[in-house]
Amino acid sequence: MDRWVSVLRESDGTIISDIEGLCQSFANFYSDLFSSSTMDPFVQDSLLNNISSVLPPSDASICDGRLSVEECFVALSGMARNKSPGSDGLPMEFYLKFWDLLGPDLVSVLNS
């Protein structure tokens, strides 16, 4: 079954139902969502100072260091299939299919 958004209520209460308006509203939403903004240092300190749990040293040690092509492939292979694409618009199946070609470069980018 095809699913689509036919009507959208904006934050100011206006209703959008035309395709161009819907597309613009989605584009604005995701542009705002993924754009940087300044962090309030007081809020950041308040959040970080109220974290009560810590990662045990044994687990923390495996988080250190560079990623390997092998561990990234294992992580990719363990992801659920037929799910929504990532923030780049590509599903995990794309990366799995082209891992031999893309994997080493992707891991290099992730490590940088």
Rounded Cα gap, residues 80 and 29, in angstroms: 26
pTM here? Answer: 0.48
Most confident of 27-31, 45-49, 97-101: 97-101
Amino acid at position 86, single letter: G
Q: Where are the domains of the chain?
A: 1-36, 64-112
What tokens were used for 65? 């260091």
Which has the closest alpha carbon to 111: 73, 65, 78? 65
pLDDT digits (tens, 9 = 90+) for 67-99: 999 999 999 999 988 887 777 888 889 999 999
Q: Do 112 and 73 touch, CB atoms closer than 8 A?
A: no
